[in-house]
Structure 1
Amino acid sequence: MTFTRKAIAACLLPLSMAACTSTEKPATVSTVKPVEKAPAPFPSTYKAYPGVATAIRNVTIYDGEGGKIDNGVVFMSGGKISSVGGPDTPIPADIAVFDGAGKYVTPGIIDIHSHLGDYPTPSVEAHSDGNEATSPTTPEVWAEHSVWPQDPGFSRALANGGVTSLQILPGSANLMGGRSVVLKNVYSRTIQGMKFPGAPYGLKMACGENPKRVYGTKGRMPSTRMGNLAVNRQTWIKAQEYRKKRDSGKEFTRDLGMETLAGVLDGEISIQNHCYRADEMALVLDMAKEFGYKVAAFHHAVESYKIADLLRDNGVCSAVWADWWGFKMEAYDAIPENAAILQNSGACVIIHSDDENQIQRLNQEAAKAQADGRRMGIQISDAEVIKWLTYNPAKALGIADKTGSLKPGKMADVVLWNGNPLSVYSRPEMVWIDGALMYDAKDPKRRPVSDFELGQPGEGDVK
């Protein structure tokens, strides 16, 4: 398939995408009786690009769940992984076969923390759509309603980083910043056309310096960490009351923010929590127990190593950097061995980006974190480190049954690397999404390019 402008337009006619909600100042929409759930607004219209049955043979395979196969075969058909095995794995006749001698295959990389689209490139004020910094709690907003599908960062993440899925989050100015959305990293004219089918929504929350700095300087609450917790708890109390009214069978007034929070309390929306300090993460876990919800992952989490056992026992993942630190006080006590200590303690580790450039080299970030652990005597296999980029983020996003590892029946989201993916010298050679070859380093035409990147016509071209 060639990604010309006409071809893209033809392929994308059926595509489209979905939604997210929020709270605080009640956004009254209508008064309804809760008879049955209405269809979700802004539904995903994602349809996989066309692909062909394909086998990759003679490759080193990291299956995404900690397994490794030497001289293996990956076979995909109908957009799914059909089989993964050793050199004796049968390959059907009359299919596309790639010989990967000396090369490596992994599942597609998943970035659990991205702002592509809601802080797109070029980074100008007009594109700053990630923070609704008008109230400490804005669960009524949905990140997908800010995402610009033509952000050139999407294709960079695909081609340079092998990223096949990613979660787009609102920013962290707010205690409750709004709903996140999970995308398939394909070119589409609409955000609905990128929306990962069946992926749960997330609620972005933030603790620490950002909310108290943004609102405290305006003379508003919160201005302290205790204010952060107080506003959060009071808002969850309101959400409990709203949920009770919703379930009572009586008429109630819809509130977009409270719908999101009630969805969290129902267990349908995951909590993705920006948090740096260990003491605050512990407080958030206690608050989650108080109101009966679960935190899926702490993001940034530079002090997770201090409470690795607590995070392990509560089943909470830490989405971390390899070595970013010191850019504010709550990031000061970071250590480069954070990920390794978490892994060694049996806790869930994820390497994330939070950056339009770092998303292009998450494999290198994971390798740095692995090496930092090795220097302190913690040995973590390459196959296990790949899990930080594939299965673990899929698990924290609630999509591990669909993607994140090379298991038969899962989406054929696959990267062929030209060398060990944990080497600084390696990069993606081919990337498949749902079995469709979306990038080929040897074929310049097989790379999605947004209309924005095609430039503007000169005066002589304007009719």
Structure 2
Amino acid sequence: MRVRKRMVRGFLALTIAAVPLAGCAGDKERPKTAAAKAPPVPYARDPFPSTYHAYPGVPTLVRHVTVFDGEGARIDDGAVLFADGKVVAVGQALDAPAGAQVIDGQGKYLTPGIVDIHSHLGDYPSPGVQAHSDGNEATAPVTADVWAEHSVWPQDPGFSRALANGGVTTLQILPGSANLMGGRSVVVKNVYARTMQAMKFPGAPYGLKMACGENPKRVYGTKNQKPSTRMGNVAVDRQTWARAAAYKRKWDKYEKEGGDPPDRDIAMDTLRGVLSGEILVQNHCYRADEMAIVLDMAKEFGYKVTAFHHAVEAYKIADLLKANGTCAAVWADWYGFKMESFDGIGENLAILDRAGACAMIHSDDANGIQRLNQEVAKVMASARHAGMPVTPEHAWTWLSIAPARALGIDRQTGSLKPGKMADAVLWNGDPFSVYTRPEKVWVDGALLYDATDPRRRPVSDFELGQPGMGDVK
């Protein structure tokens, strides 16, 4: 017993004596740095991910057709083969694989599906009643926390009208322009779906809708609050970007070093995404001088303006837009409906293109989206009258690849190139004729509209009995 007690006392003495030695050894081996902090826990960049799955299609060969490839090339007596949702081959005299559907396109035209960079379908759906007005959160000049996708109603009959009448296969849905920072946009495939997530374009970057000029100063000036002037618009923008830069620094530090995470701010999350280059700025702006100011503000805070929308006076600063790599999404000839739109000209788009700036057509309208091909035809007529002829195959770039690039999805869609999504339209004549209509529309190689097949014509509760619908069973 005495021996056992002596052994225990000896063990305790050795243990106590060893403690400071272990502590010293530990101090030498483990430097006192931030590495001991908890690792950062990243937050979901998109908590509402796409669940889009392409409709099933069949291998299809369209031959003996005039092809506009969407990137400026034309193929007479051409052929396009697509299968498994992708374009397989483009050229002439292509062979059809076994079991493929073969369509004779003699006298017809095949183009990429139209991409509309500026739409409010789903957020301002039909019927156009107050209960459906969900595009403008006009309660504060900065509402970067709202996301357009959370207002999208997939049953809006405008989607099927854009598909069947306009050949639109992809579109960006934006918040309205009441606010300086109106919230996030979303890019969708124009397919029939029950949920927004099932339309959401896989992997497409988000956009931030911004606005300058008359709209925000009018909306908030009448409420006797800032901004009520153009200088007020810029002041609120700059103050907001300064806050966003500070927010980004905190989160960047946390994600690099760990520790306690900063408090989340949903609006600042979006602006941080812009400053990090993950979210694209889509800016409603009319006047040339204001666009120049916005470009300077973007340089001040280190972000990029991807595109100015409407951009009625963009032709005045085509060189500046080109130098900054900023696109202009414009109408053909809408002008004069308010003071900042007074200097519009029909040659706007053609002048931008001629100067080497990124330019495209857009709709901003549930009816206009159904005839964007005709809007481009009007631009071509204005340009020709001004001595700037534009070939039809080049003009189609304004409808497909240019907006796809401005949305960051040009590697997936926007042209008929092997490996890209088989988003295509077969037109029953010259697509720039007022008499021409889509005959067939494919999205990811699936035939979603066929003018010759009543089963593939869009019908909704709000369209029953409409003229031209026929006896649809």
TM over 0.5: yes
1:168 aligns with 173
Distance 2:438 2:344 in 1: 30
Q: Secondary structure at the match of 2:264?
A: strand
Count how many residue pairs are aligned between Structure 1 and Structure 2: 423
- 8 A Cα contact 2:161 2:458, kept in partner: no
Q: 1:449 aligns with which of 439, 456, 459?
A: 459
> Is 2:194 the partner of 1:189?
yes
Distance 1:302 1:192 in 2: 33
- Over residues 318-366 of structure 1, what are the superposed CA-to-partner deviations in whole Å (9 max), with x where a residue is unaligned? 1100000000000001111101111111111111000000000000000
> Is 2:244 the partner of 1:218?
no
1:16 aligns with none
> Is 2:115 the partner of 1:110?
yes
2:6 aligns with none
- 8 A Cα contact 1:187 1:450, kept in partner: no
Shift of 1:40: 2.1
Distance 1:451 1:294 in 2: 43
- 8 A Cα contact 1:110 1:164, kept in partner: yes
Task: Tell me the amino acid that sits aligned with residue 445 of structure 1.
Answer: R
Shift of 1:254: 0.3
Distance 2:143 2:102 in 1: 50
- Over residues 430-455 of structure 1, what are the superposed CA-to-partner deviations in whole Å (9 max), with x where a residue is unaligned? 00000000000001111343455569
Distance 2:213 2:372 in 1: 26
Shift of 1:314: 1.1
> Is 2:330 the partner of 1:320?
yes
**TM-score after normalising by structure 1:** 0.90
> Is 2:58 the partner of 1:52?
yes
Task: Look at both structures and tell me which one has the larger radius of gyration over its CA atoms.
Answer: 2
- Over residues 375-418 of structure 1, what are the superposed CA-to-partner deviations in whole Å (9 max), with x where a residue is unaligned? 00001110111000000000000000000000100000000000
Q: Secondary structure at the match of 2:253?
A: coil
> Is 2:139 the partner of 1:134?
yes
Q: Pick the structure with more helix per residue.
A: 2
2:24 aligns with none
Alignment of 1:212-251 (within 5 A): 212-249=217-254, 250-251=260-261
> Is 2:352 the partner of 1:342?
yes
1:89 aligns with 94
Cα gap change, 1:367/1:33 in structure 2, threshold over 3 Å: closer, same or farther?
Answer: farther
Alignment of 1:16-415 (within 5 A): 34-38=40-44, 40-86=46-92, 88-249=93-254, 250-415=260-425
Distance 1:102 1:453 in 2: 31
- Over residues 84-130 of structure 1, what are the superposed CA-to-partner deviations in whole Å (9 max), with x where a residue is unaligned? 012x3333232100000000000000110001110011001111100
Cα gap change, 1:192/1:450 in structure 2, threshold over 3 Å: closer, same or farther?
Answer: farther
Shift of 1:33: 7.5
Distance 1:66 1:345 in 2: 16
Q: Which has the higher contact order (CA 8 A, sep 6+)?
A: 1
2:8 aligns with none
Distance 2:39 2:308 in 1: 36
- Over residues 60-98 of structure 1, what are the superposed CA-to-partner deviations in whole Å (9 max), with x where a residue is unaligned? 000000011010010000000000012x33332321000
Q: What residue ranges of structure 2 are gaps of 5+ in the alignment?
A: 1-37, 255-259, 466-473
Distance 2:144 2:39 in 1: 22
Q: What residue ranges of structure 1 are gaps of 5+ in the alignment?
A: 1-31, 456-463
Task: Tell me the amino acid that sits aligned with residue 47 of structure 1.
Answer: H
Q: How large is the RMSD of aligned CA atoms in angstroms?
A: 1.3
**TM-score after normalising by structure 2:** 0.88
